[in-house]
Amino acid sequence: MEHFKGFRQAGINRLSIGIQSFDEAKLKALGRIHGREEALRAAEAARAAGFENFNLDLMFGLPDQTVEQAVSDVRTAIQLHPSHLSVYQLTIEPNTLFHAQPPALPDDDVAWEMQSQLQAELAAADYRQYEVSAYAKPGYECRHNLNYWKFGDYLGIGAGAHAKITDATGITRLWKVKQPNDYLLYAGTPQGIGGEQKLSRHDTVAEFMLNALRLVDGFPSPLFQERAGVPISTCEPKLVQAENRGLIEWDARTIRPTPQGRRFLNNLLELFV
């Protein structure tokens, strides 16, 4: 509680708390060091410290998880009255324990049933889905993440931090050195830059779509040229292909994924990679 009060007094006005699950067995399977009671106390302490605007991170599709267990997690989260909820399906990443020793995960049909029921629970509680994994009370959409999803620029501050910068020459991605000691030693000098990448035209188009098509409402067509630097007509053959497969709706003003496109988002994004 005292930490949260200190954050609030320092001017921080939003928190994101990594809950993942309220189920003790699921937390243990994920290798988390907190339990259900710690998760509940953290959310309650955030509100008591004056944070009206806070996010809870949840996951579904966990090892041996049932639909009922996933729904129970979301219902518990709703009772804590966060302004925002991020609800991610577990994915197995390379170089992780789960990748080396794959657990038994719900199959695709069960995972889709989980997602459908979670969406219904959240909608009934007035949380609007505005991105594949993001739900917010009206007016509490995450502006920080919306900047990423709309392919905006950002600065990277700190060891290992990434930045995206657009200038007259195109788009550059930069990242700082990873080791904190090296970062402190070289901060503000060229040696503090771990690397950089100038995006090609193909990469720029692909990265824009990989981000913007996650948004439920899609994006205004003019935003593509503003952020990617090329006209939307560049993508027209792929947009037509996506439309013919029922994955997007588009016209001169807006491009948005359909419910089918959101369900099969990877299939949609593969068209632009």
What CATH number does domain 2-141 carry, 3.90.226.10, 3.30.70.980, 3.40.50.720, 3.30.750.200? 3.30.750.200
**Is it the case that residue 133 has pLDDT exceeding 80?**
yes
What CATH number does domain 202-270 carry, 3.30.70.270, 1.10.10.920, 3.40.50.720, 3.40.50.2000? 1.10.10.920
> What is the spatial distance between Cα 91 and Cα 133, in angstroms, rounded to a whole number?
13
Which pLDDT tens digit goes with each residue over 67-103? Answer: 999 999 999 999 999 999 999 999 887 877 776 777 8
Give 118's contacts (C-beta < 8 A, 6+ positions apart). Answer: 60, 70, 71, 74, 87
Instruction: Say what the pTM is.
Output: 0.90
**Is it the case that residue 238 has pLDDT exceeding 80?**
yes
Secondary structure of the chain in HEC code, one letter for each residue: CHHHHHHHHCCCCCEEEEEECCCHHHHHHCCCCCCHHHHHHHHHHHHHCCCCCEEEEEEECCCCCCHHHHHHHHHHHHHCCCCEEEEEECCCCCCCHHHHCCCCCCCHHHHHHHHHHHHHHHHHCCCEEEECCEEECCCCCCHHHHHHHCCCCECCCCCCCEEEEEECCEEEEEEECCCHHHHHHHCCCHHHEEEEEECCHHHHHHHHHHHHCCECCCEEHHHHHHHHCCCHHHHHHHHHHHHHCCCEEECCCEEEECHHHHHCHHHHHHCCC
* Per-residue model confidence (pLDDT) at position 3: 86
Give 178's contacts (C-beta < 8 A, 6+ positions apart). Answer: 159, 160, 194
Question: How many other C-beta atoms lie within 10 A of the C-beta of residue 106?
Answer: 21
Average pLDDT, the chain: 94
* Per-residue model confidence (pLDDT) at position 251: 86
Q: Where are the domains of the chain?
A: 2-141, 149-199, 202-270
Provide the pLDDT confidence category of residue 198 given band limits of 50, 70 and 90: very high
The torsion angles phi and psi of 36, rounded to 5 degrees, stand at -60, -50
**Is it the case that residue 252 has pLDDT exceeding 90?**
no
* Per-residue model confidence (pLDDT) at position 187: 87
